Amino acid sequence: MKQTSKNTPLITRRAFVGAGAASAAFSILPTGALHADDMLENALSPRVIGNADAPIHVAEYYSMTCGHCADFHNNTYPKVKAKLIDEGIVRFELRPFPLDGLALRAHALVRAVPETKFFPLVKMLLAKQPVWARAADPVAELQKMARLAGIGTDEFNGIMQNRPLLEGIVNQRQKGIDQWRISSTPSFVVNDDSVLAGNMSYEEFAEALSAYGA
């Protein structure tokens, strides 16, 4: 495995799940998925955008509270989508790597909505990251963001207290550490071969992918 890096925040914690969290079933996932295990599997399944036959697979490990991740998604990702994803060159996957408890809960929120709403909700939360992540009561502000996505109070509280979902996200984070030695966000695994670490401009990102034919 090859790995390149730029300056990004280091990981300082592993366990994020609150001691008081209780198991709860989802109420906002598709109603056809009636069994809690099925809904959990759906929530933790890969979130990928782009042509399934694209020659380059990029899996980004990101944290919802990471300023570098927000900057990448607000400024670089739109060009990546237009020039690489929409053109069938790259299929892009988002993998959770929460840096703190608030990020964990934001990841749970975006994972609990139907897959068609996942990328739009991630986009909104990263665009508005300073509004909710830096608030005096960030969970309350996160709930306001959730309302914009059609998530009511009971549904939001159920997500925040869903221990299996929270633990599942932490497990996905740990896989990133174990498999790819991920230690900062954003980090990008390219074709299960190399890791690019750090916030990059579109030009830097495209140049890094040029070795794979981008």
Question: Could you tell me whether strands 90-96 and 194-197 are parallel, antiparallel, or unpaired per DSSP bridges?
Answer: unpaired
> Does 202 fall in a domain?
yes
Is residue 19, in this structure, part of any structural domain at all?
Answer: no
**pLDDT greater than 80 at residue 35:** no
pLDDT tens digit sequence for 67-117: 999 999 999 999 999 999 999 999 999 999 999 999 999 999 999 999 999
Q: Name the pTM for this structure.
A: 0.85
pLDDT single digits (tens) 170-200: 999 999 999 999 999 999 999 999 999 999 9
CATH value at residue 192: 3.40.30.10
The token pair at 86 is 């929409």
Count of structural domains within the chain: 1
Q: Is the pLDDT of residue 49 over 90?
A: yes
Full residue range of the structural domain in which residue 82 is found: 32-212
pLDDT at site 213: 80
d(CA 25, CA 68): 33
Instruction: Evaluate whether residue 4 is within a structural domain.
Output: no
Q: Look at residues 148, 167, 146, 158 and name the one whose alpha carbon lies nearest to residue 104.
A: 167
pLDDT score, position 21: 39
Q: pLDDT over 90 for what percent of the chain? A: 79
